[in-house]
């Protein structure tokens, strides 16, 4: 892992290959087609598409569950679908599709990461089922008996391990609350476990996910997911009138932004977007959120003000990009507050989503200048929050690389949307100020920073949590080619432009990707998203297929 690549954009492992298997299994109910895509490693289906059912006036849930009942042998879930899955979300999109998200359960216990999405069109036809199901749980010996370890003991075990990793016990932002789940351990065997999450800022920022075996007390897995959004506890806006302030950003440019003014002065609070945008002063300490930013005259031109000006303005612009382009109201779709803290720590070379808010260091002046000075960095981090509230891609292995790439893609698209000196570099505005043209990553040519641009040369080690930043280059190159066109590894891609590329990947992320998605599932999900938007025979679908083929994902 190249240390210079970490701008909260964090780390991952275990590479699974995927392959498309063209039409198999006759579709039920006189449906016309069915294509099953399986994960080569697990041999389990992870994407089925086509006209999977005949038109129907039944509820979307009934259509999906009846289909799954006919596919029990293929998926190998233990009981009938009505006791094997729980609907956790149902929504209708602008194309008229009813989209369901199903959580797999076993004996009433959620199976971690086993989420399925299903999509029913306006005619009541099921068109796609995405996601891998944990098979034959009823045959797993370890699941024959329940928990033997107390929840408190599981938390203590995980806490002790985390303290050993850090060299001291962390100061938690909130109490760790274990969740009883079924999890696939590293040996591939399903077990009951306690999932425990620790969010902290001291002695260093972290958001660790632990899994502790509920029968033996052994730690099954752990990883840092600091970028992920679990929702803010919320803050209260000061009283006052909405106003507009002005100020200079990190790069010296003048900006205007929304504030709230009362007899105390003007606060960096924007009440015009969702449930509010709030910017705080960390005062070079490591506690968040800090003090709500207050200015005497609503003119923030001092050098110390600059990181706050950019954090506040760029959070609003990221909100506007998702709201205006994708009709998404904040990262969760429900107007969630956007909270930022600037001047975090001293010479801190990082920016991250802590699990409940954005945090920005000032940099040391050599590796970084204040990290809130880059729109693509802010949009990158807030896209992690979008991902966490939609696909919830696990932050390791291939799913983690897709997670990172989605943040790079939408960070770049936000930069282009506002014409903010746009390019296909990530973090170039705030990284190594003494080196012209340098950046954290290049989407146009990932190899310039040592990242792969083709699946055949992917990183397969355990560093960077299995290469979440490194292997993001594969997807980044595909996105660049899809937008701009070009020939790569002998495959020619016809570019379709930023707008269409963004719409396809947004639909892929929010409707079709699931927690443990591989690159293979990512490809077929993107093809399906393009099919929904532009039609199966469209040039856009052809370009999506070519872009993934060009980076070796077939």
CATH classification of the domain holding 397 = 1.10.390.10
- Would you state the pLDDT for residue 32? 52
The pLDDT value given to residue 301: 98
Dig out the tokens for 330 from the structure.
């904040």
In percent, how much of the chain has pLDDT > 70?
93
Asked if the model's pLDDT at residue 172 lies above 60, the reply is yes
Residue 165 placed within a domain: yes
Phi, psi (5° rounding) for residue 191? -145, 155
| φ, ψ (nearest 5 deg) of residue 378 | -65, -45
pLDDT of residue 318: 98
Q: For residue 346, tell me if it sits in a domain.
A: yes
Are 131 and 198 in a shared domain? no
pLDDT tens digit string along 310-334? Answer: 999 999 999 999 999 999 999 999 9
Same domain, 260 and 381: yes
User: 258 forms bridges with which residues in the sheet?
Assistant: 244
| Strand duo 35-39 + 18-21: pairing | antiparallel
- DSSP string of 71-112, one letter each residue: THHHH--SS-HHHHEEEEEEEE-TTS-EEEEEEEEETTEEEE
Q: Are residues 172 and 131 in the same domain?
A: no
- Residues of the domain holding 495: 3-15+391-550
What's CA 364's distance to the chain center, in Å? Answer: 28
Give yes or no for a cis peptide into 333 (omega within 30° of 0): no
Query: What single DSSP character describes residue 26?
Result: P
Helices (H), 49-103: 60-70, 72-75, 81-84
- pLDDT of 232 reads 56
Going by pLDDT thresholds of 50, 70 and 90, the confidence category of residue 477 is very high
- pLDDT for 520: 97
Is residue 354 domain-shared with residue 402, that is, in the same domain?
no
**DSSP output for 207-246:** EEEEEEETTT--EEEEEE-TT---------PPSSEEEEEE
CATH code of the domain covering residue 287: 3.10.170.10
8 A C-beta contact, residue 170 and residue 200: yes
Q: How far apart are the first and last CA of the chain?
A: 27
Q: What is the mean pLDDT of the segment spanning 536-551?
A: 98
What SS3 string covers 432-490? CCCCCCCCCEECCCHHHHCCCCCHHHCCCCCCHHHHCCCCHHHHHHHHHHHHHCEEECC
Q: Which two tokens stand for residue 538?
A: 């469209």
Question: Nearest 5°: CA angle at 347, between 201 and 476?
Answer: 75
Give the pLDDT band (50/70/90) at residue 40.
Answer: confident
Please tell me the distance from the alpha carbon of residue 327 to that of residue 355, in angstroms, as a whole number: 24
Among 347, 429, 426, 342, which residue's Cα sits nearest to residue 383? Answer: 426
**410 and 537 assigned to the same domain:** yes
Judgement on whether residues 396 and 455 belong to the same structural domain of the protein: yes
Please indicate, yes or no, whether residues 419 and 336 belong to a single structural domain of this protein. no
Dist CA 280 CA 360 (whole Å)? 10
What value does the mean pLDDT take over residues 219-245?
A: 83
The predicted structure's pLDDT at residue 5: 36
- Specify the 3-state DSSP secondary structure of 407: helix
Identify the domain boundary among 373, 388, 403: 388
Question: What pLDDT digit, counting tens, does each position of 398-450 carry?
Answer: 999 999 999 999 999 999 999 999 999 999 999 999 999 899 999 999 999 99
Query: CA-CA distance, 414 to 494, in Å (whole number)?
Result: 22
Asked, for residue 44, whether it belongs to a domain, the answer is yes
User: How confident is the model over 153-177, as a mean pLDDT?
Assistant: 95
> What pLDDT does 538 receive?
98
The answer, yes or no, to whether residue 287 has pLDDT greater than 70, is: yes
Whole-number Cα distances in Å, 505 to 387, 391, 398, 494: 12, 12, 16, 17
- pLDDT greater than 60 at residue 14: no
One DSSP character per residue, 278-336 reads: EEEE-TTSS-SS-EE-EESSSEE-SGGGHHHHHHHHHHHHHHHHHHHHH---STTSS--
Q: What is the CATH number of the domain that holds 52?
A: 3.30.310
What's this model's pTM, rounded to 2 decimal places?
0.91
For residue 94, pLDDT over 80 is answered with yes
- 264: tokens are 């105390």
Residue of 173, 381, 398, 415 marked active site:
381
What is the rounded distance in angstroms from the CA atom of residue 516 to the CA atom of residue 535? Answer: 27
Claim to verify: residue 382 and residue 423 sit in the same structural domain? no
Domain count, the chain: 4
Q: What angle do CA 416, 268, 346 make, to 5 degrees?
A: 85
In this predicted structure, what is the pLDDT of residue 233?
62
- In this prediction, residue 27 has a pLDDT band, given cuts at 50, 70 and 90, of very low
Amino acid 273: pLDDT: 98
CA distances from 104 to 211, 508, 513, 516, 517 (A): 18, 21, 15, 13, 15
Last residue of a domain, one of 81, 105, 135: 135
Residue 469 bears catalytic tag? yes
Res 173 pLDDT > 90: no
- On the question of pLDDT at 551 being above 60, the answer is yes
Confirm whether 50 is domain-assigned: yes
Domain co-membership, 159 together with 290: no
Q: What is the pLDDT of residues 489-541, one digit of tens each?
A: 999 999 999 999 999 999 999 999 999 999 999 999 999 999 999 999 999 99
304 and 353 share a domain? yes
- Residue that is last in its domain, among 356, 388, 420: 388
Instruction: Give the pLDDT confidence score for residue 28 in this predicted structure.
Output: 42
234 belongs to a structural domain: no
Annotated catalytic residue within 37, 469, 488, 540: 469
Angle subtended at Cα 137 by Cα 133 and Cα 141, rounded to the nearest 5 degrees: 150
Specify which of 35-44, 154-163, 170-179 reaches the highest per-range mean pLDDT.
Answer: 154-163
Quickly state the pLDDT bin for 129 (edges 50, 70, 90). Answer: very high
Q: What is the pLDDT of residue 231?
A: 53
Judge if 67 and 53 occupy the same domain. yes
Residues 6+ apart with CB under 8 A from 324: none
Whether 55 shows a pLDDT value over 90: the answer reads: yes
Within a domain: 256: yes
> How far is the C-alpha of 109 from the C-alpha of 497, rounded, in Å?
44
* 360-402 pLDDT, tens digit each: 999 999 999 999 999 999 999 999 999 999 999 999 999 999 9
- The answer to whether residue 451 sits within a structural domain is yes
Per-residue model confidence (pLDDT) at position 353: 85
Residues 130 and 160 in one domain: no
Contact 465, 432 (CB under 8 A): no
Answer yes or no: is 143 within a domain.
no
Among 161-170, 200-209, 268-277, which stretch is predicted with the lowest mean pLDDT? 200-209
pLDDT above 80 for 22: no
Q: What confidence score (pLDDT) does residue 204 get?
A: 87
- Residue 19 confidence (pLDDT): 36
Question: Is 90 a catalytic site residue?
Answer: no
Nearest to 243 by CA among 297, 291, 280, 289: 297
Residue 31 has pLDDT above 80, yes or no: no
Report strand pairing: 358-361 vs 338-344.
parallel
| pLDDT for residue 6 is more than 50 | no
pLDDT of residue 184: 84
Question: What is the average pLDDT score of the chain?
Answer: 92
Residue 201 vs residue 16, higher pLDDT: 201
* Rounded-to-integer distance, Cα 274 and Cα 263, Å: 25
């Amino acid at each position: 892992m190249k240390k210079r690549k970490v701008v909260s954009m964090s780390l991952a492992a275990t590479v699974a290959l995927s392959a498309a298997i063209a039409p198999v299994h006759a579709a039920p109910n006189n449906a016309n087609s069915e294509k099953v895509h399986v994960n080569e490693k697990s041999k389990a289906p992870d994407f089925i598409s086509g006209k999977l059912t005949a038109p129907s006036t039944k509820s979307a849930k009934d259509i999906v569950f009846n289909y799954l009942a006919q596919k029990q042998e293929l998926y190998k879930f233990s009981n009938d679908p009505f006791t094997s899955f729980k609907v956790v979300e149902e929504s209708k999109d602008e194309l008229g599709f009813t989209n369901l998200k199903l959580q797999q359960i076993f004996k009433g216990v959620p199976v971690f990461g086993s989420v399925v999405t299903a999509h029913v069109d306006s005619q009541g036809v099921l068109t796609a089922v995405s996601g891998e199901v944990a098979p034959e749980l009823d045959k797993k010996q370890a699941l024959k008996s329940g928990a033997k370890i107390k929840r408190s003991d599981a938390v203590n075990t995980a806490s002790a391990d985390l303290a050993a990793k850090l060299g001291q016990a962390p100061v938690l932002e909130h109490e760790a609350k274990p969740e009883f789940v079924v999890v696939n351990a590293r040996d591939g065997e399903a077990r009951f476990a306690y999932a425990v999450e620790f969010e902290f800022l001291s002695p260093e920022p972290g958001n660790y996910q632990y899994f502790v075996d509920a029968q033996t007390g052994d730690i099954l897995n752990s990883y840092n997911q600091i970028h992920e959004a679990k929702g803010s506890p919320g803050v209260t806006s000061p009283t006052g009138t909405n106003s507009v302030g002005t100020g200079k950003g990190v790069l010296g440019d003048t900006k205007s932004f929304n504030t709230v003014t009362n007899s105390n002065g003007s606060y960096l609070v924007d009440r015009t977007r969702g449930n509010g945008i709030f910017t705080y002063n960390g005062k070079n300490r490591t506690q968040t959120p800090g003090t709500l930013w207050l200015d005497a005259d609503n003119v923030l031109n001092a050098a110390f003000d600059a990181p706050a000006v950019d954090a506040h303005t760029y959070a609003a612009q990221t909100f506007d990009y998702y709201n205006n382009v994708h009709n998404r109201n904040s990262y969760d779709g429900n107007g969630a507050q956007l909270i930022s803290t600037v001047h975090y720590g001293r010479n801190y070379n990082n920016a991250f989503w802590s699990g409940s808010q954005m945090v920005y260091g000032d940099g040391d002046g050599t590796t970084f200048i204040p990290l809130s000075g880059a729109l693509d960095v802010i949009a990158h981090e807030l896209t992690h929050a979008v991902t966490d509230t939609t696909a919830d891609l696990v932050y390791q292995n291939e799913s983690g690389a897709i997670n990172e790439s989605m943040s790079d893609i939408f960070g770049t698209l936000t930069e282009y949307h506002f014409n903010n000196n746009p390019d296909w570099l990530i973090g170039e505005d705030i990284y190594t100020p003494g080196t012209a043209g340098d950046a954290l990553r290049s989407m146009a040519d990932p190899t310039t920073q040592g990242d792969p641009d083709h699946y055949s040369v992917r990183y397969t080690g355990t560093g960077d949590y299995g290469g979440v930043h490194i292997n993001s280059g594969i997807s980044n190159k595909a996105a660049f080619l899809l937008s701009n066109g070009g020939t790569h590894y002998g495959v020619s891609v016809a570019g379709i432009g930023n707008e269409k590329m963004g719409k396809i990947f947004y639909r892929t992320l929010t409707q079709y990707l699931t927690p443990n998605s591989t690159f293979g599932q990512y490809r077929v999900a993107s093809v399906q998203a393009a099919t929904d938007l532009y039609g199966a025979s469209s040039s856009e679908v052809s370009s999506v297929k070519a872009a993934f083929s060009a980076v070796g994902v077939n």
